[in-house]
Structure formats: C-alpha cells, structure tokens
Structure 1
C-alpha cells in the first residue's frame, strides 16, 4: 500500500470539517481590497493631485513600518494594495498556519486520525489531504481577491498579482505550520511557534526594516523576510512576477521537510518530546490551581514577552512621528480624512494600543480555551473524579486568563511610549498611555466573559468568540475607510469606552461594560457547574 493511499478520502473529510473556517477567512480577506477601493475618491477627490496628499505618507517611517514599503501609491491600485495588501498578506499567513495545524496536529490530538489510520490509509495520507485542502484554500483566496478587485475597477494585471501575493504568504505559513505540527506533540505548542515566533517575529522584523526607509543600510534585509515577499511583488507598480517564486519555493521545501519529519516520529508524538516532570511536586502545585499554572505558564509567559516586545518595537518607530509631522504638515490632514486625529502621535498611540488590545484578547481567549481542551481530552473528567470541584477547575483557568491578560494589556500601555519618553524626556507619557490601557480593560474582560459564557452553556459554539475578535480588529483598523454607521462600528468590546487621552473619561460606559462582563463571567461559571462533562 502506498503511503499516500486514501488521500482523496482524507481531503474530503478535512473539507467537510473545515469548510466554514476557510470560507470565513477567504471572504473576509478577499473583501478588503474592493471595499478600500470604493473609498479612494473620498481620500483623493477627483481632479486633485494625489502626490500632494500621499507624498508625506510615502516617506513617513511610521506608516512604512505599519503598512510596508510604498511603491507607486499615486495610483488607485497602488494605494489600495499599500493600505490593506500588507495586512491581508499577514492574515493570510495566520489563516494558513491555523488551517494546517487545525487539520493535522489538532485532529491527531483528538483521536480522529487514529481512527482513520485503522483503515486502508497510507502513512502520509492525512498530512497530504490537509496540505491539499490548505493549498486549494490559498488558491481560492487568490482567485476571489483578484476577481473582486477587477470588479471594483482595478487593473487586471495588478489585481492578479495582488491576489497571488496575498495567497503565497498563506502557502508559506502552511509549510511552517506543517513542520511545527511534526515537531511538537500538541497543537497549542505548534500554534505558538508558528504564529508567535515565526509570524510575530517576522512582523516585528519587517516593521523595523521598513520603518528605516528604503535608503537605510540594512534595507536589503527585507529580502530575507518571507512575510514581506508578497509586498515585494509590487502589484499595480510594474509587477515583479519572479518574486512569487521565492515563497513558492520555500513552501515546497517546507512541505517536503514536513513529510520527512512525519516519517521520523510516532503517532501522537512529536520530534520534540516534553521534558519529564519532577518526581514530587511542591505543595503549592497541588490541586486544580497548581495544575492550571503548570499547564499554562509557558503560554502565558510567552504571550507576555511577545506583546511587550512588540509594543516597545512599535513605540520605537512612533518616536519619529514628531519629526515627520514637522516636515510634512499635510500628514495630519490625511489622517483626519482616514478617521484619525491631527495630533499624529496621539492618534497613532491610541490606535495601536486598541489594536494590541485585540491581540491581548486573543491571548485571553486562547488561555481560557484550555479549559475546554482539557474537557475534550478527558482530563477534566478524571480530575473531577477526585475531590476537585467544578468551581475550582473553572476558576483556575478563568482567573489565570483574566489576571494574565489584564497585566499584559497594562504592560502594552506602559511599554509602547518608552522610546518616545526617553527621546523627549517626558516620562509622564508612560503613565498617560498606561491609563489608556486601564480605561479599555472592561472591553478585554467582556471578551473573556463571552468566551466563558460559551464554554459554560454552548461549548460546541465556543469558536464564536473568534468572530467577535475578528469584527473588533476590522472596526479598529479598517472600518475608518468605509462609511459604516457609527453605531455599527461601536458594536464591539471597545466601541463605547473612552480612548484616553483622546476622549474624555466616560465612567458610565466603564461601569456598565464592567458590570456586563462580570455578569457574563458568572453566568458562564453557573453553566459550567450545571452542564454535563464532557458536553
């Protein structure tokens, strides 16, 4: 029997289990460019010279760090791709990494692949089926993106290049995720390395390199960052089609490595084995609380370090804003048109803290999801067979997610302005933006409350919290380009809260949202106490 026997069957099964995941990602990412193109005339009114407005943006280090290198942004297509193409490429990488781990290591953890392998299935068939599904998903993303861009009036060649540039980033992280799924013995570690170290590390490095500008001595380093290769295709700006060979080649090499690594490991095992624990645990680790800390400490500390380093990196780039604003007074006007503020420093710090708030909310949801994971694996049932109560088990993970994420969000506000404070000697900025994070904490707790409510009453629909976070990210960064009703944009966890110091403090909204979050947390705990385990 061939090692690929049964690949078609595994592909059908993977498609049946993951079609909604891919449909939502593809529709969401493919819609960014056509939606943005509809607002181009609002930003650049017909008959005006786009250079007068866009030239300050093209040379601004902060905008380059956030959006990537600016090529021909004076055309509609070039500006649209610069504005959202880089973000779409990054999230396509997240899509590919999540998708392949979801269809391989996660399925293996839950025992489904063991059932498949009991039949006439080759050793590599499950991995091959998952890779085919992810490849087809990325190709469909390219096609839909290009088709919608052309329908929005953008040039055909540039639209095809844009779709391909976004999709190949997904393929790169499909390969990275496939390799990590073989190296680590659980999906949590595989996701952490794929999206934490590789995705997050590349993003931070890209920001540093691009923020320095094209004339910096180390600007050529961008060719060593796979997350930037899609932008270097230069859609709508004398397309460089040959650059597509770089991510395609890397993806093929990574897939080949994944197959080779799968041959070298046992089922359910990873090439990197977990270190054996201590023979005797200290007294404080007895019970559900100690177990929760033992299970979550690596992820918690990794998230904390990641968000602080990322925030400090963003702040070091933003420290150049005052100089850019003095040299380019048109920049404030441009930001006002995009829904920002004439105060460039204030506008960017508040916006980036809000975006990092969504990242920290992802951290919180991931930590709390471990409660459900322990249940599906049967570990919770074994623990509850002892003197451990359901309250203790649920609270051990909930408190860890709450405290850890709140500390991380406060650290974001304190670390982001450090470079600016050191540069200007105004250390009051640290306290100022620490208060920004503190004022937004009810939104973070509300997300945790929604996640706990779903785990307590509707555990099979727990993934709905990711839709909430996706909508929040869209409202935080992209909704400013569209004429959406204000009530709709504010329909997200941070929508009604004051973004200090840009807004005056609204204690009513703070108190109401805090109370709602606490109610959801309590309802979730009650539901977890009442329902069957496993659900």
Structure 2
C-alpha cells in the first residue's frame, strides 16, 4: 500500500512538472512582447505617489491647513465618495487619500490586461495551439502570464514604497503592498474569466466589470459612513478596493486587510489553475451553444457584423453609467449644506465643477468624471479595429466587396454614437437621481442631461486621436491608452493637487464649460468638433493607403 501511495504521489509530481514545461520560455516571450507597455504602466503608477507628495506639500503648507482639509473632506458623504476617506493629516496619509484609490484601480486594470493578453487572447488567435504542439505544458501559458503580472506588480510595489519611504517606512510598505496585492487579486480574477469565456474581449469585459463594481461599492460605502471615525460600512468591506483603503497606510496600519487581498489573489489563481486543467486549448470551461444555421438579417452586411462585435461592450457601459449616475445624483443634492464654510473643499469642487452654486458645481464635477472615464470606452471601441486587423480577421472581409473605409466605418459609427448613448443614459440617471433627491425632477433632468451631452466633443476628440494613431502609426496605436490615462488622471487628481491651468488645458475636457451652471459659448464645441473631423479624416486616409496588418 505504501509503494502504491508513493507511486501515485510521484505520478502527480511528474504530471505537475509536465504541466509547467516551457514556462520559462513563455515568460521570456511575454516580457519581450510587453517590453514597452509594462514599463510605462509600472513607471506611471510607481512615480505617481512620490510626485503627489510634493504637490500636496506645496498646496497645503502648514499642519493646520492639512488638518482642516481632512476635517472638511471627511465631513460629508459626497466628498468621501468622490475622493475617499482621509485617515490622517500627514503628507503620507494625504497622499494615500488622494491617489491610493487611483493606484489600486489602475494596478487592477494593468493586471487584467496583461493576464488576458497572454492567456485567452493567445488561445483566441490560435498562437497558443501552435505553441502547445511543441514541448509546452498544459498550464505553462497561464503560469507565464501570472508570473508576468507578478513581476509588474512587484515593481510597482517597490517603486511606491521607495517613493514614500521618507514619509514613514511602514506606511510606505503598506501602500505598496495594497497596490501590488490589489493588482494580483484582479489579475487572478482575470485568469478565471479567461478560463470561463472563449472571447478575449468578453474576458476583459467581465474583469473590468469586476473592477467597476468594486470601485462603486467602495464609493457607496465611503459615502454612507465616515471610515475615519468607525470600522467602515458593510459596502466598503464587500469591495477588495475597500480592503486596501482600510489597511490604512500612514495611519496606524492594520495588516490583516492586506491578508484578505492576498487570500483573494491566491484563491482566484487556484480556481484558474483548476479550470485550466479541465478544458481543451481554445475552448471555454462551459461549452458554447452552436449558433443558428443561417445568419440573421443584421449579419448580412459589414455594419451588422460591427454591431454584433461591439454591442456587448456598449451594453455593459450603458448599465454601468446608469448605476453610477443614479448614485452620483442621489449624493449631489445638499452639497452646499454639507460643505458649509469649508473654503478648501469648496475650492476643490469649484476647480472641478465651476464657481457657480455648489450643488451645480458638484453636479458638473460628476458630469466631468463620467466624461473622462468614458474615454476608456471610446479608445477601446476604436482599437477594436486594430485587433481585428492584427488577429487577421479583417483580411477575409476586405477580400470581398468591402472597402477599407466601409469596414472602418462599421466600427467607427459605434465608436462615435456609442458615447452619445452612454452619456445620454448616464445623464438621465444622474438628473433623475438628483431631481428625486431635490424634489425637482422636471427642472433638474433637462439641465443635467444637457450637461452630460456637452461632454461629447471632448470624448470624440480622444476617439479621433485614436483613429489617427491606428491609421498613421498602427504599431504605436496602444499609445492611445497613455492619452486616456493622462486625461483620466488630470480629471481625477488635478483639481485637488492644484495642478496649473496650463497643464490642465492639455485635456480637452478643461476647455468645455462646466455645466450645469456656467455660461455656454459655442466656440469650444465648434473647434473640438472640427478638429475631431480633421483627425478622423486624416486617420482614414492613412488607413486607406497603408498595408493591412502593418
């Protein structure tokens, strides 16, 4: 019996070893493919915290100013939902308050993109099957992807901790671990999504939805309870991002919430490994149902195909904006009473939403945040063109009676009209939530809806820049994500850090009137629309003249 048991153990060990054969080679390949994208992500995230310390030090020079800022920001649910809870008035604690949520969210996004790219996307394109015909183990691809994301998050952890070490060693380590472990947790969830789906796009969508739900739960929990005075709201504790917040770095650190994040990462990775061993390469864990024998009426042309490929992402963004708009609207009423005489908080809100009445300024800041976040959808929708091209799905279409411009238009019509639809439903939800809270739905709804739609020209400008990159510089089209990150970072952190107006003006959203409340002039809308049209035309002309797949 002992010999049989030993033989079984030896067999399992050999099987596990075979499953990981070739991991080192695939890891080197992944690092080579990500040799540009990953260092950019790591440096941007790692250096954000250290650069924020200096800006906070110059913006709030005295301890009294910092103490007053913490009291003001923790004094009402609206600003807690927007900025998070401040657990201390030191420069380190204020840095965590200002960029901690930003770092954890973007570490999660970085991780899910890396994992999906090297797992499900490899299978969808057929590259993993070609590699599997060589000496490559069953779980080698997944292991290489997770090791890649571990290296990225480890580098971010070291840069964040090193950049803030002067503010306190334990706090710097706690923040670095919170960011790195959050990235690993959502990387593990992305690995699970990659096993459950057959589409890389769907896997990215599910993983991004998990990040969005976690962020909204954190917002709702912080709005409901001042975490600096209690143990935190139940909604906050339902979110892994809330666990990172309640460590809390630079304020009597508690290490066990970080252990929860580590457990989530380990559990999700274990589930992904288990699922990976129970399915065929290229297939999902759940067998997909066969489609109809004949294409429906909407799939008889290239525009129907474009809609079919893009509709899932659009539906997800619509649902997310309805939810976020309703929450933002409900907490916007009464901002004037909540903030009282807080000059510092008023200044931040006015920098984000204008100097009109504080309720309108807060609504305008919410509208601006929704607009900047929507650039993520706009860029991803346009970049679908590039993925169709690089995955060699565009050439079969173009070999038929389909011109390049018609093929591009089948995606771009959704890339331009989709944000309009998303902003419209988000504006309706925001206006309805605010109107119900204020008891004036009829007066609030049109104003807020118009404010939301006013963001369209700025979103379209980002869309057009992405089109130009795909047409003229296809190999560098991923730079669109750098533009999106810059726009989101300025909209999220710029006002609180008192970033100079000249820097803020590099974002198209800074040129729009802050609605509702401010006076509307046609000039910024006209020049943005004209510039958008010129950039789109330039991108399409370049696409028409270059080689497909180049």
Report the TM-score when normalising by structure 2. 0.90
Could you tell me how far apart the structure 1 residues matched to 2:219 and 2:486 are?
24
Q: In structure 2, do the counterparts of structure 1 residues 365 and 45 end up closer, same or farther at CA, with 3 Å as the change threshold?
A: closer
Asked whether 1:228 is paired with 2:242, we answer yes
Per-residue CA distance 1:207-253 (angstroms, 9 max, x = gap): 11221104899823433321211111111111112222111111111
Per-residue CA shift, 1:238-286, capped at 9, x if unaligned? 1112222111111111111111111111111112344333333343431
Mapped to 2, the partners of 1:9 and 1:120 lie a distance apart of: 10
Deviation at 1:334, TM superposition (A): 5.2
Residue 375 of structure 1: which of 383, 386, 389 is its match?
389
Aligned residue among 375, 389, 392 for 2:403: 389
- 1:192 paired with 2:208, answer no
Q: 1:173: Cα distance to partner?
A: 0.4
- Indicate if the aligned counterparts of 1:96 and 1:174 stay in contact, CA closer than 8 A: yes
Structure 2 equivalent of residue 163 of structure 1: 176
The secondary structure found in structure 1 opposite 2:289 is coil
In the alignment, is the contact (CA less than 8 A) between 1:134 and 1:174 conserved in 2? Answer: yes
1:359 aligns with 2:373: yes
**TM-aligned CA distance change 1:138 to 1:265, over 3 Å:** same
How far off its partner does 1:176 sit? 0.3
- Relative to 1, partners in 2 of residues 1:491 and 1:52: Cα closer, same or farther, differing over 3 Å? closer
- Alpha-carbon deviation of 1:24? 1.5
CA distance in 2, matches of 1:361, 1:66: 19
Q: Quick one: distance in 1 between partners of 2:291 and 2:266?
A: 37
Q: In the aligned structure 2, how far is the partner of 1:144 from the partner of 1:349?
A: 36
Post-superposition Cα deviations, 1:327-365, rounded to whole Å, max 9, x if no partner, equal x54464453797665643233322222221122221122
Does 2:77 correspond to 1:64?
A: no
Comparing 158-167 with 405-414, greater Cα deviation is found at 405-414
Aligned pair partner of 2:446 in 431, 449, 456: 431
Stretch moving more, 183-192 or 271-280: 271-280
Distance 1:374 1:241 in 2: 45
Aligned to 1:514: 529
Aligned to 2:3: none
d(CA) in 2 for partners of 1:218, 1:84 = 19
Distance 2:462 2:65 in 1: 44
Check whether the contact 1:233–1:239 (CA below 8 A) recurs between aligned residues: yes
- Is 1:138 the counterpart of 2:150? The answer is no
Alignment of 1:364-513 (within 5 A): 364-427=378-441, 428-482=443-497, 484-513=499-528
2:119 corresponds in structure 1 to: 104
Report how far residue 12 of structure 1 moved.
Answer: 1.0
User: Which residue in 2 is equivalent to 1:306?
Assistant: 320
For residues 349-386 of structure 1, the C-alpha deviation after alignment (integer angstroms, 9 at most, x for no partner) is 22222221122221122222222222223222112222
| SS, match of residue 252 in structure 2 | coil
* 1:77-117 deviations in Å (ceiling 9; x for gaps): 22221121122112211121112112221222233323322
Alignment-derived partner of residue 68 in structure 2? 52
Cα distance in 1 between the residues matched to 2:542 and 2:177: 46
Per-residue CA deviation, residues 487-517 of structure 1 (Å, 9 max, x unaligned), is 3321123232322245432322221111110
Q: CA RMSD in A?
A: 2.3
The equivalent of 2:6 in structure 1 is none
* Equivalent residue pairs, number: 530
Contact 2:195 2:275 in 1 (8 A): yes
Partner residue in 1 for 2:139: 124
Residue 159 of structure 1, CA deviation: 0.9
The residue number in structure 1 matching 2:215 is: 203
Offset at 1:526? 2.2
CA–CA distance in structure 1, aligned partners of residues 292 and 334 of structure 2: 49
Partner of 2:21: 5
Report how far residue 518 of structure 1 moved.
Answer: 0.8
Unaligned runs of 5+ in 1: none
CA distance in 2, matches of 1:389, 1:333: 54
Q: CA deviation at 1:162?
A: 1.1
Shift of residue 134 of structure 1? 0.7
Quickly say closer, same or farther: Cα 1:293–1:333, change in 2 above 3 A.
Answer: closer
- Structure 2, unaligned stretches of length 5 or more? 1-16
Q: 2: CA distance between counterparts of 1:75 and 1:534? A: 52
